[in-house]
Structure formats: C-alpha cells, structure tokens
C-alpha cells in the first residue's frame, strides 16, 4: 500500500472509496496489517516531532496489533485513531498503546521512560502529569458511575469536577478518591514509598492492604505510608513537585536522598561507597533532560567525590 495514501487516511483526508480499498487491503493479510501499524508509528512520530511539550490522549481509539486470538478488528475504529503509538519526546521514547478490555470500553496504557516526563489530557478533560518511569492505565471513555485510573509511579492530577462521577486513582499500595481537585500521588511498584499530596480540594486515601485505614486530606497536607500506617503531615516544600516541569528540586537534601531520587528518575542503581558524602546537603535544581552525569558533575563542585559507571550493568559507584 502506498505510504502517501495511508498518511492521508491517518489525517482523515481519504474518500469513501479509498477507505474501502484500505479496509480490504488491511484484511487481506497479516503482512499488510504489520505495514499499517509501522506506517502509523512513523506518521505519529513525524506529526508530533515539532510538539514535544505535551500529548493529548482524548476519547479517540488507538488500534494495537491484534493478538493471535483476535485476527480481525473493527475497521470503524481506524477512523477514530488520534492518540499516539510511539512518538519522539525530548530525547526518549514514550510508548502508548490501547488494549482490549472485558468491559465496554478499551483501556489505554501509557508508560514514560526514565529521565522523561509527560503531560496528557484524560477523556473527561482531567490534566495529568506523569513522572519518569511511570505507567498509567485508563479507559478510552469513562463509564457512567466513576472515573478509575491505575497508576504505577508518580503523577500529578488536576481533576475536572463531577459530583456524579468520583475520580479514583488505584495503586498497588493505596487508592485516592476525589470529585475535583489538584493532587500528587507517588506509588512505584517494587518500592515501599506511598505518598498522596493534596494541593487543592479534598481527597480520600485508603490502603490497599488494609481498607480500614482511611483518611480525608485537606489542602496543603499529605498522607505518607510509614511502617504500614498512614500518617498526615503538612507540605514543607512545593518545589519537590516541580518534576512536572521537568525539574528535580532539592532543598537542603542529604546526599543519600538525592541519590535515591536520581535512581527513581533515571531508572538506575547508585551505590554510595564514599562514607564522607553523608554529611553533605544540597539545595538546587536539575533538569531531567540534562541527565545523571551532568547532575553528578554539578554536585562534584560542592561535594568531594568521584564516580564510575559500570559499562555492563550501568550501576554508578560513588567513591
């Protein structure tokens, strides 16, 4: 199939007869379907290369290559394709895909690579910022009773108010329920941390492992999971939430806590062998896009240490 024709199809510029021809070509063989998906990826990358600041993932449907037990797909969904399969985002790749669901609506999954962040719009207009190494799943269209998203990582939400449809963020450690508000949730699978921070509005937080532990947050407070219990405290430093601007911010942070944040953002392991660095603290900001090596070199101006990166494991050793 001619690439130019497919590109015009993706833009919605083809005629009815051309649409029918593409449908018949698509259904003819798996090879044709593979070409279709590859052309779509290329089209999305080219279209969005000049707009790397944000992504809109609306109620459109994104078609994923079918599994062996799903040989055919509804061709009508092609006409609704608007979200991205794979695009260039800063210096990394962001993968977005939609999966079949047992419910009425398909589920869309977005994963952000290490060292990147992204802003997107959910089907109800809610704005979401995803931190590095974060995955979110949500329906292409929310149902009539509630708005549920699943989160693995850290995200900041500005939820569109709807009293009839509670907005629920489900994580492996706890859930956050809201009607309309601004809040941040951090819950990376494989890590112990669970923090829900409320900037505006009202949220309910409960533990996945112990639903009896439930509390209501008021603005400028946060719920932190410590030793299996939820504790409430005030927000001491709002700069910590500037990650949604692509900034890693520290305010009198210890060297160890800085390295833990770098591990989380860049998805790597850092071993601290130098015992003297523990007495140092640092205040400042780094951009995600500048990378871990740049950040470490900046820290070396104030803190005496050397570091080496293992070429095979990519583990960083602080000496």
What would the pLDDT profile of 213-245 be if each residue is shown by its tens digit? 888 888 999 999 888 888 898 988 888 888 988
Average pLDDT over every residue of 179-191:
86
Percentage of the chain exceeding pLDDT 70 = 78
What does the pLDDT read at residue 158? 92
What does the pLDDT read at residue 179? 74
Q: Which domains does the chain have, with CATH numbers?
A: 54-63+90-238 (2.60.120.1440), 246-318 (3.55.50.30)
Percentage of the chain exceeding pLDDT 90 = 14
What does the pLDDT read at residue 61? 31
Confidence of residue 43 (pLDDT cuts 50, 70, 90): low
Largest CA distance in the chain: 73
What ranges make up the beta strands (E) of the chain?
86-89, 92-99, 107-111, 118-121, 127-130, 135-139, 147-158, 167-170, 174-178, 182-187, 195-200, 203-207, 214-217, 221-226, 229-234, 247-254, 270-272, 281-287, 307-309, 316-318
Q: Is the pLDDT of residue 156 over 70?
A: yes
Distance of alpha carbon 191 from alpha carbon 103, whole angstroms: 30
**pTM, two decimal places:** 0.62
**Which of residues 92 and 209 earns the better pLDDT score?**
209
């Amino acid at each position: 199939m001619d690439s130019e024709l497919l590109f015009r199809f993706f833009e919605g510029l083809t005629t009815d007869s051309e649409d029918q021809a593409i449908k018949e070509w698509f259904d003819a063989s798996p090879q044709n379907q593979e070409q279709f998906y590859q052309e779509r990826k290329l089209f999305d990358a080219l279209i969005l290369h000049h707009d790397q600041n944000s992504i809109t993932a609306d109620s459109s449907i994104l078609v994923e290559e079918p599994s062996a037990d799903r040989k055919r797909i509804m061709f009508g969904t092609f006409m609704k394709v608007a979200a991205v399969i794979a695009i260039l985002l800063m210096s990394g790749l962001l993968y977005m895909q939609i999966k079949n669901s047992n419910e009425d609506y398909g589920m869309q999954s977005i994963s952000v690579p290490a060292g990147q962040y992204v802003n997107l719009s959910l089907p109800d207009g809610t704005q979401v910022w995803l931190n590095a190494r974060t995955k979110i799943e949500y329906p292409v269209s929310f149902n009539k009773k509630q708005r549920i998203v699943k989160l693995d990582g850290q995200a900041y939400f500005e939820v569109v108010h709807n009293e009839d449809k509670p907005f629920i963020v489900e994580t492996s450690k706890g859930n956050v329920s809201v009607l309309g508000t601004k809040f941040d949730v951090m819950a990376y699978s494989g890590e112990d941390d669970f923090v829900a921070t409320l900037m505006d509005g009202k949220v309910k937080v409960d533990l996945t492992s112990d639903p009896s532990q439930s509390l209501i947050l008021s603005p400028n407070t946060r719920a932190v999971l410590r030793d299996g219990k939820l504790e409430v405290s005030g927000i001491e430093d709002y700069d910590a939430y500037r990650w949604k601007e692509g900034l890693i911010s520290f305010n009198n942070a210890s060297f160890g806590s800085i390295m833990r944040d770098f591990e989380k953002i860049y998805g790597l392991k850092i071993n601290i062998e130098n015992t003297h660095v523990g007495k140092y603290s640092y205040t400042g900001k780094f951009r995600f896009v500048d990378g871990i090596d740049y950040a470490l070199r900046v820290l070396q101006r104030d803190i005496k240490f050397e570091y080496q990166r293992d070429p095979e494991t990519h583990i960083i050793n602080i000496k």
